[in-house]
Structure 1
């Protein structure tokens, strides 16, 4: 049933109640048996059985093993003895059942896990795995937890052999699972588990998500998977906790203009989360200000901030079109004494990996406190539970939160959102593809009346979303046709610029893919488009396609390098087409 774990023995509170009940019954059985035997033997002929207290106790204990000599000749028996001769064996039976349950519980859990259906597997036993497990269970999912090492069982989960066991996926019931999350502390282990799961022959769909702590390695693995000419049947993605936490932060608390001007932002620490936060705030502001007329002033403070700024703008070219980044090589003192950045900032993100340093900086740098409620965001991990101590709206608050300016942000809790992890790279690229399409059609004068697809992603019908996902999944095949591949924008590299003949060739491939997909889902050709009746005038061969419809495919291919750059990728030539 939803919310329970597969193969899970009765929960601890239930077992405690049962043990208390049968313990009480056993005690009463012993008392009732002793008193009943005393009365019964007293009525028997003299010398038949001894009434010595030790003898009575011996006869009484024999009731628990279905036999006591004074009862061999039958009744009638006193009421207390009648009760005891049934209740005492019942206690014995319960004890045997409980002992068997304890002896065979582990094997039973393994068997049930192996034969489970529609459940979720979480591999790992660190903070990410435990947080994700709790949130999955809170969402009503059935969870099979696979510890990286042999650890004690945690209520609400099913434990199976350690993740290093070669048969771990089979033992966890991977054949019938709905999703797998590889969240151990080792990138190689997570990648191996994810790839092994994605390669298995399955009859049911499987979503596989592997945590990769190194952002650049995560980007490289995403590039290799997206670049496949023939993607596997399983849905596979690699995720980074800092990237997810930054995305969640700005989705819930977007940047807002201050008196009509872009907010002033300070990022302290060019750590993985600091860099991810800078990229996400730029993405979010680009949507608000698509023309790029108002750049966000950003102070990046770190011992190597100049190098970090250069790496980020090379990896994500749109950053320089959205933000005006001023690097400060050094600590906070250099920013405060430099005079080159307007103080106080409107939003501050303290992103040091050293959590004590991050918290200390937030508490002593009063020059940063004037941005309003929630303006000073402090990245925390193991100290994230301190946020209740500073929450003025919480009953357990014991420390002032600087008039609401302080915001302690737990990155692991924010990142371990199953819905956020499920919004994988293909989904994000599909969304960017649609947004690029809307912008392109706006330039050609289309509107919602003429083109029903001219709506935000959230309002787009599922059939159109599926088409955009199909286009994103097909990127690898198209590049393979040109002898190209995807590469993460890490370090220097020569990006391949698509030539017009290549654009024409990929446009033809995209149109053919689109036609095949539409026909397979019941669409037919007609002179006028009718989404309700599944009719479309573009369902014809490329040679017979009208020029404006061909140009739509050309525009989609021309936008491809920018779409990939938005995710941190570039196209490179690896061989002749």
Structure 2
């Protein structure tokens, strides 16, 4: 190649070298300096690219092998904000996470705490690659609820013959979540997995009220204002009632909850039907219309102790908080604004003084990130079965108190936090057995989303189900080695109930019968009702 060769020709021939061949170098030289450098650099670069490609392939295979052989880890399926946030929080708590997704976008973590399996989590082979048979839990957090249900089904099939796997499937719609919970709770056969469905608005509301509980005033009931009867707003109303009814002042007052929304009256009617305890624990006051118009009206809500602005549109929620100045008088952190992406703006209001961008209104405003709050692994693990078990236990304690028994009469009467594991397991088993009992009398569970006749057990049904419950309890105690004695001795595993129903004293029969009569009320507390499948059965 002559010295007069054009620069464009030299560049073209140099680039050809990177495919390990160029006609311009076939004549043996001499070559321009640039082409001479390229002639040696090209094979080196090509070799490096090949090595790097092989390294990535083998690294991915090594990661997949580690995931397949992992034990006691957590599997997360999905690549949306819930999946990535949950992955981050679990890894921060010290868990090894295997993340199944279509790509590696989103979550970032060290190889020690985060492993990737690329693929569709509904595919049993992908679940096997994630080591699901030896995992401690699986979270199905895809954006589509049907996909999450399919993942749970696939995980259950992979678990046959294995110890039960805890599976938590995200469902976007609250009513669908309730319906799926009813169908799973109503199964009559022991499930192959421990399954629960969760809705992020419900979990976030539980998180919010757990971290910032109700503090009752001394001389009146507390007052709350919920702006926006969205899914999160409705969940906040329910959680306020749940928390209030177990506080001592609930015996004197009902908590006052005002709801402002264009359809506030309709929403309160629906919630009151779905959760009957609401009208007992709350004085619910609907205000149909826009917040500013309601506050300027003649019949406005009394000054609230705390405000929850729950609009789904984050900008509308933030705008409402910033312009409704009549809500700023409750003190620091009393105006809670539902946010998601914009929750990171909190530092702009209450960060370090030299970093604040906005006036913090004396610290009144608090931006609440729903996704971050809902991705609390502890609250998700506190599933419906666990919560029902607690209600079953509290109903049992109430029945025993009515008979004059106190906490010192039996270790089974201790409050749930101090209850021995033996009795917690028993309450969980009783909650899990609900579906089998209802099937025995040709009944099923349904969500309380439409008006219908309330179910009342007949005398014969109460007796039949009480016998069924005693037989289940008796078989469980016999497997554990309990024996009959006239007087209970819990240390020596002796109990007067270790005998057939016909031989039981009336006092023990009454405990079983009371538990059955209270079952419709327990289920109603969580939005379910009992439905008879065939009239006249």
- Cα separation, partners in 2 of 1:555 and 1:304, compared to 1, 3 Å: same
How far apart are the structure 1 equivalents of 2:51 and 2:107?
21
- Is 1:216 equivalent to 2:216 in the alignment? no
Which of 363, 377, 381 lines up with 1:422 in the alignment?
381
Greater gyration radius: 1
Residue number in structure 1 paired with 2:118: 161
Q: What are the residue-to-residue correspondences of 1:159-238 with 2, within 5 Å?
A: 159-163=116-120, 166=123, 167-200=125-158, 201-238=160-197
Q: Is the 8 A contact 1:148 1:164 kept in 2?
A: no
- In the TM superposition, residue 292 of structure 1 has moved relative to its aligned partner by 4.6
Q: 1:383 is paired with a residue of what secondary structure?
A: helix
- Cα separation, partners in 2 of 1:462 and 1:94, compared to 1, 3 Å: farther
- In the TM superposition, residue 522 of structure 1 has moved relative to its aligned partner by 2.2
How far apart are the structure 2 equivalents of 1:376 and 1:403?
11
Q: What are the residue-to-residue correspondences of 1:224-303 with 2, within 5 Å?
A: 224-289=183-248, 292-303=251-262
- In the TM superposition, residue 382 of structure 1 has moved relative to its aligned partner by 1.1
Q: Is the 8 A contact 2:310 2:338 kept in 1?
A: yes
- In the TM superposition, residue 343 of structure 1 has moved relative to its aligned partner by 2.9
Which of 350, 360, 379 lines up with 2:338 in the alignment?
379
Q: 2:362 is paired with a residue of what secondary structure?
A: coil
- In the TM superposition, residue 148 of structure 1 has moved relative to its aligned partner by 4.6
Q: 2:195 is paired with a residue of what secondary structure?
A: strand
How far apart are the structure 2 equivalents of 1:527 and 1:393?
68
How far apart are the structure 2 equivalents of 1:106 and 1:477?
46
Q: Is the 8 A contact 2:314 2:338 kept in 1?
A: yes
- Is 1:351 equivalent to 2:310 in the alignment? yes
- Cα separation, partners in 2 of 1:393 and 1:548, compared to 1, 3 Å: farther
How far apart are the structure 2 equivalents of 1:442 and 1:397?
55
Q: Is the 8 A contact 1:118 1:176 kept in 2?
A: yes
User: What is the TM-score of this pair, normalised by structure 2?
Assistant: 0.87
Residue number in structure 1 paired with 2:88: 134
- In the TM superposition, residue 405 of structure 1 has moved relative to its aligned partner by 2.0
- Is 1:457 equivalent to 2:416 in the alignment? yes
The number of residues matched between the two structures is 493
Tell me, which stretches of 5 or more residues in structure 2 are unaligned?
A: 1-32
- In the TM superposition, residue 107 of structure 1 has moved relative to its aligned partner by 2.4
- Is 1:493 equivalent to 2:428 in the alignment? no
- Cα separation, partners in 2 of 1:445 and 1:115, compared to 1, 3 Å: same
- In the TM superposition, residue 383 of structure 1 has moved relative to its aligned partner by 1.1
How far apart are the structure 1 equivalents of 2:339 and 2:210?
19
Q: Deviations over 1:387-421 (max 9, x none)?
A: 22222578744433322222211111111111111
Superposition RMSD in Å? 2.5
- In the TM superposition, residue 291 of structure 1 has moved relative to its aligned partner by 5.8
How far apart are the structure 2 equivalents of 1:290 and 1:527?
41
Residue number in structure 1 paired with 2:292: 333
Residue number in structure 1 paired with 2:404: 445
Which of 427, 451, 454 lines up with 1:468 in the alignment?
427
Residue number in structure 2 paired with 1:370: 329
How far apart are the structure 1 equivalents of 2:163 and 2:392?
28
Q: 1:160 is paired with a residue of what secondary structure?
A: strand
Tell me, which stretches of 5 or more residues in structure 1 are unaligned?
A: 1-53, 66-92
- Shift >6 Å, 4+ stretches: 93-97
How far apart are the structure 1 equivalents of 2:105 and 2:130?
16
- Cα separation, partners in 2 of 1:517 and 1:297, compared to 1, 3 Å: same
Which of 351, 361, 368 lines up with 1:409 in the alignment?
368
Residue number in structure 2 paired with 1:388: 347
- Cα separation, partners in 2 of 1:389 and 1:173, compared to 1, 3 Å: same
How far apart are the structure 2 equivalents of 1:395 and 1:445?
62
Residue number in structure 2 paired with 1:87: none
How far apart are the structure 2 equivalents of 1:393 and 1:276?
33
Q: 2:303 is paired with a residue of what secondary structure?
A: coil
Q: Is the 8 A contact 2:101 2:121 kept in 1?
A: no
- In the TM superposition, residue 240 of structure 1 has moved relative to its aligned partner by 0.5
How far apart are the structure 2 equivalents of 1:153 and 1:322?
42
Q: 1:371 is paired with a residue of what secondary structure?
A: coil
How far apart are the structure 1 equivalents of 2:142 and 2:303?
41
Q: 1:254 is paired with a residue of what secondary structure?
A: coil
- Is 1:559 equivalent to 2:518 in the alignment? yes
Q: Is the 8 A contact 1:199 1:232 kept in 2?
A: no
How far apart are the structure 2 equivalents of 1:485 and 1:449?
37
How far apart are the structure 1 equivalents of 2:351 and 2:153?
46
How far apart are the structure 1 equivalents of 2:418 and 2:122?
45
